[in-house]
Amino acid sequence: MKNTRILISGGSVGGPALAHWLVRYGFEVAVVEITPALRRGGQAVDVRGPALDVAARMGVLKQIGDARVQMTGMSMVDGDGNELYRSEEHTVTGGDLASPDIEILRDDLSQILADSAGDGVEWLFGDSITALEETAGGVQVTFRSGTVREFDLVVGADGLHSNTRRLAFGPEQDYIRHLGTYLAVWAAPNYLGLDRWQMFHQMPGGSWGGGVMTVRGNTELRAYFGFESPEPLDYDYRDQDAQKQIMLERFAGVGWELPRLLEYMKAAGDFHFDAMAQIHMDSWSTGRVVLLGDAGYCGSPLSGQGTSMAMVGAYVLAGELKAAGGDHEKAFAAYESELRGYVTANQELALTNKARVEAQQSGETVDFQDFGDIVGGYAVKEY
C-alpha cells in the first residue's frame, strides 16, 4: 500500500465517513476542521437509498435510526394561522413518511460518523488549509496556524464554498450554479407545543416562506425560511450578522409566526444561511487532491440527496483507494467513473424537486416518488 498519509478537509458528513473507511483499510488519516469542535446546528438531512447500505456496512445504521427525527405529518397555514392543507403521509423536509429513508439532524449524524472513525483519526480542530503545493511524492500543506506538513493525498470535503477546491482548482465562480433560492435554518424553543409535526406558511405571491419542525423529542424547533432571488446576492458567507439582516429585510411584514421566529433568529448561535446552488466540475481531482461531496458535486438541499451523495462518495473513494493499493491516479479515475452517473441524476433531481415543493406549499397534492427510483436505483459495489 502506498500513499497512506491522507489529509481530509472538512468534518461534517463526507469527511468523517471517509475517515471511517480509510482507517478501516489501514490508512493514516488527519481531519482538519475550521470550527473548534464538530459543528452544531443545521437542518435535518436524509440518509436514503444506497447511503442506507453504506451506513449498514459501517455498522452505524441502528445508531442513525435511533437518532432519527420523528415526524407524523405537516400542515400549511395562512397568514392568520388557519390550516390550508395537511398531510400525515409526507412532510416538506423528509418526503414520504412510509419510506425506509432516515431523516436526522445534521449534527447528530456528524457525531455518529465521527465516533465511528474511532481513535485512529487525528483531528485538527480550529484550523484550515491556506496553501497546497504538490511535491515529487506528496502535497505540502500550509495551515492557518502556521504549521507546515506533508501528506500523500488531500481530500476536500469542505462543502459548497470549499477552500480546498479554491486552492487546487480555482475560484468558486467557475463551478457554482445558482438555483434562484436562499435557505436559512436555526433553532428555537418549541413554544408552539407541536408534537412531531411541521408547520409552514407560504408568503403571498407564490414565493417561499417559512416554517418549523419539531426535533429532539419535541423540545426544540428547527426554523426553515426560504426566499427566491433569481440573481446571486452579494454578501459574505462568513458574516452571520449581515445574513440575519438580509433575512429581516426580506421577511418584513410577514404573517403567522414568522416575526416571532425571526426574533429567535437574532440570538441564534447555530444560524445557517446559504444559496441553493450546485457545483459542476469536469473532473473531481487534480494531481494528489480530490474532492468529495458538496465540494465537488453539490446537488443543493433541493435534491434531498446531498448527505447520501457524501456518504456514498466517501465509501467509493476509500474503496477505490484500497482496491488500487493507494495508487491515487487509478483510484481517483475509478471513483469518478463509478459515481458520475449517480451524481448527475441527483443534481437533475434538484431541478424537478423545486417545482414539487412549490406545488406542495400551494396546497396541491404532490406525488412523491421513491428517491431510489428517481436516481436509477444505484447500488453500491463491494470492496
pLDDT for the residue 275: 93
CB 346 within 8 A of CB 22: no
Residues with Cβ within 8 Å of 128's Cβ and at least 6 positions away in sequence, in order, are 9, 32, 34, 143, 144, 163
Taken as a whole, the chain contains a residue count of 383
CB 157 within 8 A of CB 18: yes
Across 23-37, 101-115, 368-382, least confident range: 368-382
Distance CA 23, CA 17 (A): 10
For the chain, domains (ranges, CATH) are: 5-40+50-68+102-175+278-376 (3.50.50.60)
Phi, psi (degrees; rounded to nearest 5) at 8: -110, 130
Around 134, how many Cα atoms within 13 Å sit in the side-chain half-sphere? 10
Distance CA 86, CA 368 (A): 15
Whole-structure pTM value: 0.93
The tens digit of pLDDT for each residue in 357-368 reads 666 555 666 555
Distance CA 206, CA 278 (A): 23
pLDDT for the residue 96: 84
Distance CA 346, CA 217 (A): 31
Joined grid coordinates for residue 266: 437574532
Distance CA 242, CA 50 (A): 38
Phi, psi (degrees; rounded to nearest 5) at 239: -95, 95
pLDDT for the residue 302: 83
The tens digit of pLDDT for each residue in 123-171 reads 999 999 999 999 989 999 999 999 999 999 999 999 999 999 999 999 9
The tens digit of pLDDT for each residue in 40-81 reads 888 999 999 999 999 999 999 999 999 999 999 999 999 999
The count of other CB atoms within 10 Å of the CB of residue 358 is 17
CA torsion angle 305 306 311 316 (round to 10): 90
Distance CA 10, CA 158 (A): 4
Mean pLDDT of 254-279: 95
Predicted confidence (pLDDT) at residue 355 exceeds the cutoff of 80: no
